Amino acid sequence: MSARFVRVAEAGRPTFEIVIDGCVAQAAEGDTLMVALLAAQDALRDSEFDASRRAGFCLMGACQDCWVWTVQGERLRACTTVAVPGMSIVTRTALAGEGVWPRAKS
């Protein structure tokens, strides 16, 4: 899968592992989840309205387009949450556990 973001500067920052939908990825120190996720894949999360994928919008926590989940079911705004080592993030609704918002409508 190709990444939506490509690092062109600050390539020397220390990196660490996070898990995205069960796959190990690298994040750089100081990355928000949005940057770490979009540097590893082409979309941020599933849409709650249809089968499309979303990529975030406002980049400042106002639009609600960047919600992702931890494997424990906690919702996080990817654009304002700093990535930390060992995070395990779910971006696909089908992988989110029961009771985790949002659930796709059939």
Q: Which domains does the chain have, with CATH numbers?
A: 15-94 (3.10.20.740)
> What local confidence, expressed as pLDDT, does residue 13 receive?
87
CA distance 11 to 39: 12
Query: Model confidence over 50-90: pLDDT tens digits?
Result: 777 777 777 676 777 788 989 888 889 999 999 999 999 99
CA distance 78 to 74: 12
DSSP state of 102: P
> What local confidence, expressed as pLDDT, does residue 106 receive?
45
Question: When comparing pLDDT for 27 and 63, which is higher?
Answer: 27
Left (φ > 0), alpha (ψ -120 to 50) or beta: where does 104 sit?
beta
Write the DSSP string, 88-101.
EEE--GGGSPTTPS
Phi, psi for residue 99 in degrees, rounded to 5: 85, -5
Question: When comparing pLDDT for 97 and 89, which is higher?
Answer: 89
